[in-house]
Amino acid sequence: MAKARAHSSKRTTHHLLLAVSLSVCVLLPLLLPAAATAAVAVAEGDGEIKSALGAGRQWVTGKDEVNLVAEGDTARVGSVEEDEFAGGFGSLDSMLQWAIGNSDPEKLKEEAADVQKLSADELLKRRQEIKELMEKLKMPSDADLMKIAIADLKNSSISLEDRQRALQELLVLVEPIDNANDLDKLGGLLPVIQELNNANEEIRTTSAWVLGTASQNNALVQNQILGYGALVRLVKMGYSTSTEEAAKALYAISALIRNNVNGQEAFHSENGGSMLQHILVSNSIDVRLQKKAVFLVTDLADFQLNSGNPQFPFLSDRLFLKSMVDMLSNFDLDLHEKVLLAIKSLLKLSSTDVEDFEFYDLEGVLLRLGVQLEDLTPEDQKEFAAEVDGLRREVQTLFQQKLKQVHS
């Protein structure tokens, strides 16, 4: 975004040189004894540049806003302390270190002597100039960057490329929970939701991704998004023929309704079960999308079991259960594991009729799967196959127990 990058590298370099020059001419003389000692030490090959304000430190290069966005993974795993000044000067101290290390000690003494001749008013004025310049060079905060991205989303005249870039920046920025909580306060949540209706598939996909990221394990943002009615559009996107769009919609839905009673009730009201059924039974659907759908089924079933809330009818629907059993016929170990976990949870639901599983020959399917796991698994997957087989035996035992209870 043009606005997000207010300083070109050429302009930033010019300002930095000016800041350094002003610092050397004005601020160093205020710390003359320590600065002169440090300068002489450097000249005499002391090996370490000593700060005019304290102990020795090392110079580190800074990052501009573009790199901060590109390196979002680092920002997600912990708090990153922002540089106080642009161009990598983490503090006035570090700027002084750089200035000392790159100055002629004799010239430095001469300039210090000249500045000492300035009046108190002149020194105060120079200090104010430095302060104002430092404020201009200060790195923008996350809130500042979010405001810029949000402003771009609200601008109907920007290009699709800039709109996509704004969404991608928000995707990184909303990962920290505090930033996610600020998204609606800054007026950004509704514009992101509105992009779900964009004619461009990539824009819709990234918008869903942002919503999923912001609402991950965040009840406040979950309820805000649900309040704006975004779930209706996300469920429709789950039917998309684009695997990427449907996957990101499913990701957002999963994040929105996880451990959220209101979200799960809204999902049921919007006939989300039919969307899941569509994904599970279609032969043309990418298996990666089916795995996400199965994972969501398990999540919903487990929440019903642990919360004691009324159970959703679609989880015990006969055709729905059939689609789960049928998926065990596809030879994909990861898919098998996820489906077995889902069936295990579904079998525990009081609303599930175990005879429906019997009708669709779950017992026979599990036996055939056991043979497959033993005889057809590639050598490099034997260990994982053994784990899946252990899960298969658990499901088989649970099924037999449930069936015995019914028939006794």
Q: What is the DSSP string of 275-301?
A: HHHHHHH-TTS-HHHHHHHHHHHHHHH
pTM of this structure: 0.68
The contacts found for 393-398 with CB under 8 angstroms, 24 or more apart, are 394/340, 394/344, 395/340, 395/343, 395/344, 395/347, 395/366, 396/363, 396/366, 398/344, 398/347, 398/348
CA trace torsion 98, 104, 106, 107 (10° rounding): -90
- Structure-token pair, residue 9: 């590298």
Alpha carbons 392 and 408: distance in angstroms, whole number: 24
The half-sphere exposure of 299 on its side-chain side, counting CA atoms within 13 A, is 19
- Two tokens at 287? 């298996």
pLDDT score at 306: 87
Half-sphere exposure of 237 (CA within 13 A, CB side): 31
The DSSP output letter for 103 is S
Running DSSP on this structure, what letter comes out for residue 184?
H
Per-residue confidence (pLDDT) for residue 114, from 0 to 100: 74
At position 218, the amino acid (one-letter code) is N
- Rounded Cα gap, residues 357 and 224, in angstroms: 39
Task: Please count the other Cβ atoms lying within 10 Å of the Cβ belonging to residue 8.
Answer: 10
In tens digits, the chain (408 residues) has pLDDT values of 444 444 333 333 444 444 445 444 544 444 444 444 454 444 444 444 444 344 433 433 333 444 433 444 444 433 333 343 334 454 556 666 666 676 777 777 777 777 777 788 888 887 888 777 777 767 788 999 999 999 999 999 999 999 999 999 999 999 999 999 999 999 999 999 999 999 999 999 999 999 999 999 999 999 999 999 999 999 999 999 999 999 999 999 999 999 999 999 999 999 999 999 999 998 888 999 999 999 999 999 999 988 877 778 888 899 999 999 999 988 899 999 999 999 999 999 988 999 999 999 999 999 999 998 888 778 888 899 999 999 999 999 999 999 999 887
- What pLDDT was estimated at residue 126? 79
